[in-house]
Structure 1
């Protein structure tokens, strides 16, 4: 049975490192990239003081663009003939949405990038990777 790997993508260098790790190590299975649009972040423009009705649509489009970039990277790596690559864009709180996707889609492994925050920044901002590690029902590989 082929392994189904989930790679959350936010466009950061760390998330691309996680994707590249998955491409290198899980050829022959299925890789799904998941971009989560946080509805709170998607509602405001460059200035926090005004509502931007198109911000959510732009956030969804960015998720689609990340999926296209992932396909290009996988094609460059030469794995598309042996590996199924799917890209998904969901809306919700990132850690919760990742875990729900795992539960609902028969995922065997998660490969996630870590931003490497520590101290006060980690406490104040939280850590999607840490929440996923603590609550995931499947193995998680964290790539920095």
Structure 2
């Protein structure tokens, strides 16, 4: 007899929470430009999202470094990168002396505030890579090799 994997409400009994990766996001320039450490930090922040705590997700740099096996400076760069590319937003800064971690908001998830629910902002959609200048006057490749 086959074992029924579904609970009466339609939820799978042997699987927990999952992270949705929309195709539009993983094909975006912002996602494709993320470093591996930034993606690891992003996944850790999502693992701490419980459905109603967006904007109050706690993850300190020291804790992230220990959990993910990364250096503290690498984790700090990952947070800066995620914030600059629109995947996370710092809601409430932490305090070193009070030993309180930052409160982060995931832009891919809705926020439940006291004033009502707010939809996901998906700020990563607005990020564009900086254009680089090529062929400057000091660049040796800009000098003509063939005489006129």
Q: What is the TM-score normalised by the length of structure 2?
A: 0.26
The structure in which a higher percent of residues are helix is 1
Larger radius of gyration: 2
Question: TM-score, normalised to structure 1's length?
Answer: 0.27
Higher strand share: 1
